[in-house]
Amino acid sequence: MNKYLIVGLGNIGEKYSNTRHNIGFLLVDRLVEKLGGSFKAQNFGQVCETSYKGRKTFILKPDTYMNLSGNSVKYWVTKEKINLENCLIICDDLSLPFGTIRIKSKGSSAGHNGLKSIEEKLQTQQYPRFRFGIGNNYVKGKQIEYVLGEWNEEEKKVLNERIDISTDAILSFIFSGLNNTMNQYNGK
């Protein structure tokens, strides 16, 4: 049976919960809500074990902080014997306009510390990733404050809609595969 691992990257703790850097957590929270599941504390994170259209799916929020996300991903990929092509890593992306979706089959970390950690632990860049654009509307030298900052009022107005579209794309990845999902959702 094919198994899937959907990983939302973020930082644990209330002070990070509504920050741009935690969009991965927001997306998998909505995904679990849509699927009627719930997270349980397990090794290296909060995990929801569920099924979508007959496909066994593990949804993970690592509890290792962003910079050590690879520990959690490696543990669950190994424990559940999940093929990397069935593993989708969800993260924020400064280089994409706010709310834009970019799904790829592989690629570099592009400076994202969570992806760097995953590449280091998996020893490959060959895994699907889902990047959610957070824009780059910050003053030079204030990148960290922007990424770890909360959504502004304009972003909040459309965030729910963007999260819904994104969760539809994740469900498409599980059911229809990577290529179909990229064709349908990239750039939306």
Q: What is the chain's Cα-based Rg?
A: 15
Print the SS3 string covering 44-86: CEEEEEEEECCEEEEEEEECCCHHHHHHHHHHHHHHCCCCHHH
Greatest CA separation found in the chain? 49
- Cβ atoms 114, 127 nearer than 8 A: no
Distance in angstroms (rounded) separating the CA atoms of residues 158 and 101: 14
Distance in angstroms (rounded) separating the CA atoms of residues 66 and 25: 11
All residues at 6 or more sequence positions from 139 whose CB lies less than 8 Å from its CB, including other chains: none
Distance in angstroms (rounded) separating the CA atoms of residues 101 and 88: 13
Just list the catalytic residues.
Answer: 21
Residue at token pair 């990239």: 186
